[in-house]
Amino acid sequence: MKFFVDTADVEEIRSLVETGLVDGVTTNPTLIAQSGRRFEDVIAEICNLVPGPVSAEVTATDQEGMLAEGRYLAKIAPNVAIKVPLTPEGLMACRILTGEGTLVNVTLCFSAAQAILAAKAGASFISPFIGRLDDVGETGMDLIQEIVEIYDHYPDFRTEVLAASIRSPLHVIEAAQIGADIVTIPPKVLHQLFKHPLTDKGLSDFLADWKKTGQRISVV
Ligand code: G3P
């Protein structure tokens, strides 16, 4: 399973890259707005930090506009993935951009029907939003299950399932149990993955008992 980090906070990304856990990054217009910085500068900086796919979302809603913005953004770095919304215009732009060799992440996916369309349009990644489905009383993880099952029937579908709108470690675990290819994780949730109170207590107890021995491991 690949871990992408879902943020446009360069300093957060820089520190998480050191864990060796970062296989890519996803941004969206909201995350870019939260960064308070110029879009192209943020994407360029992230692409320098992370060799894997870095998603940059177009803001045009018509095919021509998406193509123009996508081609412009793709020039920032070879590892830029262009994010387009799951609309007819977005999927037409997806087909053309992937045909030009550009990675495309189709975002704002909320149904299996939409995911089938994205795969038929040649999307590199499909981003079903788990948390936002949960927010409206549906079970977002069921959508991941549906998409993985459907895609598994069609080897010619090259689209990777990129579970998005992740809100908790449980989302990560369940997406892994289902077999999603990628999860894109907010930094807060990624940090939570490490934590368990029994690990903290166990380490503290080990060190307290070791201290009683009066010994040191001499590394020289
Ligand atoms: O990558 C999509 C993600 O940023 C959306 O998350 O929590 O705004 O639904 P959220």
95 Cβ below 6 A of ligand 1: no
CA angle (78 as vertex; 75, 83 as ends), nearest 5: 75
For the chain, give the mean pLDDT.
98
In this structure, are strands 24-26 and 2-6 parallel, antiparallel, or unpaired? parallel
Give the tens place of pLDDT for each residue, 94-119. 999 999 999 999 999 999 999 999 99
Q: Domains, the chain, ranges and CATH?
A: 2-195 (3.20.20.70)
Q: Is 201 helix (H, G, I), strand (E, B) or coil?
A: helix
- The reported pLDDT for the residue numbered 207 is 98
DSSP 164: B
pLDDT confidence band for 155 (50 / 70 / 90): very high
Known active-site residue 83: yes
Residue 153, pLDDT > 90, answer: yes
- Phi (first) and psi of residue 2, to 5 degrees: -90, 140
Residue 149, both tokens: 């099952």
Give the tens place of pLDDT for each residue, 131-147. 999 999 999 999 999 99
Give the tens place of pLDDT for each residue, 156-204. 999 999 999 999 999 999 999 999 999 999 999 999 999 999 999 999 9
DSSP 3-33: EEEE---HHHHHHHHTTT--SEEE--HHHHH
Residue 220, pLDDT > 90, answer: no
What is the Å distance from ligand 1's center to 203 Cα?
34
26 Cβ below 6 A of ligand 1: yes
What is the Å distance from ligand 1's center to 143 Cα?
16
